[in-house]
Amino acid sequence: AESELEGRLVALCANKLRELADSGMIEMTDDPARGGAARVRPRNLGYLMARFCVEMETMTLFPQLSATASLPDVLSLLSTSKELGGGLALRTIDKKPLAAINASEEKIRFPIDGSRKSKCKTPASKAFLLLQLRASGAPLEGFDDTRILMQEKGCRVLRAMIEYAESAGLSGPLCAAVRLHKSLSSGAGWHDAPTAAFRQFTGVGAQTAARLSEASQGSLQAFGQLTSLRVDQVAPRASSHLAEARTLLRSELRLVADVERAGPSREGGGGGGLRVSIRVGPVSSPTAPLTPALAGSVRSRWRLVIADYEGRLLLSRKLSTAEALSSPAGALAFSFSVPPASARHHLEASLLNLDCFGIDLDCTITLPGATDVPLPPAAPSARAKAAPKGRKT
């Protein structure tokens, strides 16, 4: 009957709403103005789930991330997500080549369970290895059918993770997810690999990138100073990449930080009352200045991340080279107050390009009275607790 069908549909919807509420995706409250009917509001996890089309089971994993979660932690979560770990099938014929991949230090950085002798036994462990192959820029070795899955679904989960980490104030997973997203989407290599800066150029393979990296000591800035003749000696017809490098370097940004006391120090605060002013602007290039018109033609999307020793996020901003040039002072300005708990140690700043390799900036902001001494052994920091087993250092 029609009434029975309607009742079943209402029950089905109610069950799904309760499931979303139990998972922390939505909030359900009784609304007296509507006769006690439930009022549904999305929580942050539910909003991100809908915005990025991420599975609910994957979103429930995000709160497991700590403030000091690193690249292996993000890889582990991504590999156990329903999109990847649940979207891959582990076949018997896959186990031998996957074991060889896990045993190779040249192909992956982080082995399964921290051991090169571990075997691939689950779809999640298969995803863990293949994600690293893709991120390193190595061939997928018979698993090419998974590339689209990792690029599309993997990057979509990472974008949701970036927004979640920013809203939760977690700098570790925020920076790791930004860097991994760039590696997975481009396939040029790990964010800190010396050859990644050269593999991002059109038509450059692994061998040519290795030669260009060796000729410039792995520095994109040093490569930009080479002459066309020298570059052609390193690799035939490679001088065209020199123009790409110089164009990319014109979008490079620099960071200047000033620290001042905003008020009297708080007793026991380790230098409380501190305020940090940040200026982000283009690196001056007298031979080839970057104009606002040219800035729009280069890939210049950035994310600025500043955190304390414990991974607490103090500042996160998305910006571009064009925005810095168009500002009245020729640089973007930000400021924030340093909580007393964050003033005991120096701050860590990262200026990450969202598309390109070789121009990221990592630096330390020195605070007066702060120290670089780690926390006492009796109370290990979250950073030490979060260090994954077998992480390569």
Residue 381, pLDDT > 50, answer no
- Show the beta-strand stretches assigned E in 103-224: none
Residue 291, pLDDT > 80, answer no
- Alpha carbon 334 to its chain centroid, in Å, reads 21
3 state SS of 306: strand
* Token code pair at residue 279: 């200026």
| Torsion-angle region of 20 (φ positive above 0: left; ψ -120 to 50: alpha; else: beta) | alpha
Q: Are 188 and 200 in contact (CB under 8 A)?
A: yes
Highest mean predicted confidence (pLDDT) among 197-201, 262-266, 268-272? 197-201
Closest CA to 195 of 239, 249, 110, 137: 137
Give the C-alpha separation, 61 to 378, whole Å.
29
Q: State which H helix or E strand residue 213 sits in.
A: helix 206-215
**How many residues does the structure list for the chain?**
393
Given this model, what pLDDT does residue 389 score?
40
CA max distance for the chain: 83
Banded pLDDT at 39 (limits 50, 70, 90): confident
Better pLDDT: 64 or 231: 64
Mean pLDDT of 260-285: 71
Q: What is the pLDDT of residues 169-191, one digit of tens each?
A: 999 999 999 999 999 999 999 99
Closest CA to 191 of 182, 203, 202: 182
Residue 104, pLDDT > 90, answer yes
